[in-house]
Each structure stands twice: as structure tokens, then as C-alpha cells.
A and B are shown apart, each in its own frame.
Chain A
């Protein structure tokens, strides 16, 4: 299974903070390689805990761009 599909599967069932941390160099074939993926079960009691980073939105919102700095050469 490709990494993107595995991440999507775990996200679908409810995991958060999932990402592909990296490949390990262990290859069982020319088409497969070991990889590391962490994840976390959501803790709803901590949903207002600002000490932890907020979840990334599923769809990225447009980021306002700053006006160009004036006075530059």
C-alpha cells in the first residue's frame, strides 16, 4: 500500500497527527520500503488545550499575503 493511502486509511478511522516520518532503507523488494508513521488518538477533553498545536485543516485556507514592504529599493 502506498504511504498516502495508509495515512488516509488511519485518518478515515479517526487518527490525527499522522504523517510519513521517513523511510528506513529496509527494502523487501524493488517496489517496497520500510517507513515510519506516527499517529494519535484524539483526546476530546484536550480540545481547548492551547498548549498543543491545532490540527491542520483538511482543506487549506488561503493565507492572506502581506502587502509589499514600502521603502525598499
Chain B
């Protein structure tokens, strides 16, 4: 499902999304219409015992649209992939939940976000997490590698959603779980906004 976008439009969307999130990596304030940071965590019901000892900069970086772990938290020892990890808040939560016997990998298409995630992870006591630049449409992992795949607010930004869904299925182990939080269209766009490229990254 790539819609009817031209290659030029796809490139433009990818670059604009990267540009927006590169800015958010520096300071998310004002980049989004919904609460971010601690206000967002509280609104979404992330238990405080999961994050109260995280560094303030990591809390401020939270941009999620839901709490995917409310669908079923990863278990100790599990291997977790977070697609569109941003500055790494959900990766840090998952690293805490899976414990030292588990492993969490965060991927993001924005190099600035991955750099920021590594910087913030250095402030955490966990050594079971890592980050890399990668696209949901081309995950650099072998088949059946993860027990859990999470994603929080980025699937709507993926251009080839069917390819991304196939990739998630490929890297999950049989019986593996998808925990997805994402922006959905809940009302028809007005005619003057439908099919606007800007809809992808505003």
C-alpha cells in the first residue's frame, strides 16, 4: 500500500519527516499538537515506577501517541524491537521490563534521533539496549529474531505500509507479539486537505 505517490513525492515525504524529527531530537517542544514529555507519559498511563528514575532529558524526549506496553508488557528475557524509537524512551522502558537477560533494539530513520538515543542511553544503568538507523520497510535483522515488536506513533509516517508490515511479520518469532500505538484517521479529511503531501508530516 504505497498510495499513488510518485518517487519524487515519496522522497520529499521521507526528507520532510526526517527534518521534523531531527528538529524534535533537539527540542520536541512545539513540534506536536498533543502532550509530549512527562505530560504525555502521565496522560497515557505509563506507570511512574517505570520511568521515575530516568534522566529528565529522556522523559522530555517522549513523543508517543499511546502506551504500547498497556497491550501486554514484554517479559523478562525477551528480545524486543522498537520501530521508530526516537530518542529511546520506549526502548528504555522495555530494557527495564525484559531485564538483563533480555535485549532491546531501537531503530529510527532519523540519524539525529539515533545519536540522541545513544547519548541518553549512556545515562541509564541498562546494557541490554542498542540503537541503529533503519527503516521499517527494510529491517536489518534475520527472520524470527524478536519476541515483541513495538512502535509508537510512526507507522502512519511509513510510506510503504504493507512492506513494513511484512517486515515486522518476518522478524517476529512464531507467536511473537506486535504492540502498536499509532495515529489513525478518525474523521474524513475535508476536500481541500485530502491528498495533500503536507498531511504526512504535519
Contacts and interface: CB of A to CB of B under 8 A. Distances in A.
When A and B form their complex, which 9 residue pairs have the shortest distance between CB atoms, in order from nearest?
A34-B65, A43-B175, A43-B174, A39-B178, A26-B34, A24-B66, A41-B172, A38-B71, A26-B65
B91 to A, nearest CB: 18
Contacts of A13: 162, 165-166, 169
17 contacts: A1-B156, A9-B162, A14-B169, A23-B186, A24-B65, A26-B44, A27-B34, A30-B187, A33-B183, A34-B65, A34-B153, A34-B181, A34-B182, A36-B68, A36-B181, A39-B180, A41-B169
A9 B177 contact: no
Interface of B is mostly: mixed
Interface string A32-60: 11111111111111100000000000000
Interface in B140-196: 153, 155-156, 161-162, 165-166, 169, 172-189, 193
Given A2-B184, A41-B173, 10 more contacts: A1-B185, A12-B165, A24-B181, A26-B35, A31-B186, A32-B186, A33-B183, A35-B66, A36-B70, A39-B180
B66 A28 contact: no
B33 interface: yes
Which residue of B34, B43, B70, B177 has the most chain A CB atoms within 10 A of its CB atom?
Answer: B34
Contacts of B40: 26
A1 B65 contact: no
A10 B178 contact: yes
B202 interface: yes
Contacts of A30: 187
B174 A45 contact: yes
B130 interface: no
Given A37-B180, A38-B72, A2 B185 contact: yes
Nearest to A27: B34
A26 B72 CA distance: 20
Interface of B: 1, 32-35, 40, 43-44, 64-68, 70-72, 153, 155-156, 161-162, 165-166, 169, 172-189, 193, 202
A26 B182 contact: no
Nearest to B175: A43
A35 B181 contact: yes
A72 interface: no
A14 B37 CA distance: 34
A1 B155 CA distance: 10
A45 B174 CA distance: 8
